[in-house]
Amino acid sequence: MNWITNYVRPRLNDMLGRRDSPENLWIKCPESGEMVFHRDVEENQFVIPNSGYHMKISAKVRMKHFYDDGEFEILENPQVPQDPLKFRDQKRYVDRLKENKAKTNLEDSIINATGKLEGMEVVTTLHDFTFMGGSLGMAAGDAIIKGFETAIEKNCPLILFAASGGARMQEGILSLMQLPRTTVAVEMLKEAGLPYIVVLTNPTTGGVSASYAMLGDVHIAEPGSVIGFAGARVIEQTIREKLPEGFQTAEYLLEHGMVDMVVPRQELRPTIARLLRLFTKAPLPATSESPSDDSVDISDDADSANTEDKTAETKSDSDKPAEG
């Protein structure tokens, strides 16, 4: 990473109307080691087709797959003071911001969009991990608040896609203050009686998980995502013990009751749409298949196939939610 790759090349590409071509046309699956053609991964929403490994996905690409016909409108983010601390670590923070803006073509780590999900108007608030690790600072905080305000204005649900290492240290205490500030926004949405769905993606940690990302009406996690408060390294150093297998993964959190479900990326659209129709008492869409096809397979077989639920085989039928 240097000035050329971060700044000059994207600018050149922009000028020439060229898309940033992947440096390597073949992607190696981090889980299975399989080599997969880039376009196959891209078409599959950056999920490796065979292994089901969920790669990181940019906010904009995610929205293209999420909204009806890939159509959405991006909201303008509010302006905030930049670098009030005049912060400098190994680099000046203002330079870091400039580089990230050039590299990602984004203003900061949060994008809000509006559009239709299976015909229903929704606001989505997304972290883009490529912008300083999706970190939460003043710009992101105000953008999140704007997302919630927009949902309240439009009287529609808000869906958050979280992907963040946590608070942005370069903004010091002002980044910590985004925890209560964004929580005010969540409260306002709830008081307006509107649903708030949180999708926890890889990773969601630190101050983001310790505020708005853990206050959803429903928590949906993408498979394999790391979700937690403290970083694994910090915990290991504190307790001087090895961490259990799968610690802080989506599946681990499901087991411990911190998320409602683990849902693969391709299933997010129908799952969230179904939930929102239930919450808002909306009728079934005319074009949809029969409701029984659309509903979740709640049999233990399906459960164990997805999550290797060790307790699944010992569960009796009485554990199942009532059907019909």
By C-alpha distance, which of 129, 124, 152 is closest to 64? Answer: 124
Among 113, 160, 163, 167, interactor with another protein by CB under 8 A: 167
Span from 6-14, 18-26, 54-62, 164-172 in contact with another protein (CB under 8 A):
164-172
Contact at 8 Å (CB) between 166 and 206? yes
Which phi and psi angles does 220 have, rounded to 5°? -110, 135
Relative to beta strand 72-74, strand 110-117 is antiparallel
Residue with Cβ nearer another protein (14 or 153): 153
Check residue 192 for interaction with another protein (CB under 8 A). Answer: no
CA–CA separation, 267 and 273 (whole Å): 10
Q: Report how far Cα 208 is from the mean position of its chain's Cα atoms.
A: 11
Record the tokens describing residue 211, joined without a space.
């505020």
322 binds another protein (CB under 8 A): no
| Residue-by-residue DSSP string for 280-313 | TTPPPPTTS--HHHHS---SHHHHHHHH--TTGG
Is residue 261 near another protein by the rule CB under 8 A?
A: no
Among positions 67-126, residues that touch another protein (CB under 8 A) are: 80-81, 84-85, 87-90
Among 117, 122, 145, 268, binds another protein (CB under 8 A): 145
Assess contact for 100 and 170: CB atoms under 8 A: no
Closer by beta carbon to another protein, 118 or else 222? 222
Q: Say whether residue 243 binds another protein (CB under 8 A).
A: yes
Element (H, E) at 11: helix 9-15
For 164-183, give the DSSP string.
Answer: E-SB-GGGHHHHHTHHHHHH
Binding mask 30-59 for another protein (x = CB under 8 A): ------------------------------
- Nearest to 139, CA basis, from 184, 61, 83, 72: 83
Of residues 193-222, which lie at the interface with another protein (CB under 8 A)? 205-207, 209-215
Binder to another protein among 109, 112, 225, 248 (CB under 8 A)?
248
Task: Report the residue from 55, 120, 258, 312 that binds another protein according to the rule CB under 8 A.
Answer: 258
| C-beta closer to another protein: residue 28 or 91 | 91
Binding region for another protein (CB under 8 A): 80-81, 84-85, 87-90, 138, 141-142, 145, 167, 169-177, 179-181, 183-184, 186-187, 205-207, 209-215, 227-231, 234-235, 238-239, 241, 243-244, 247-248, 252, 256-258
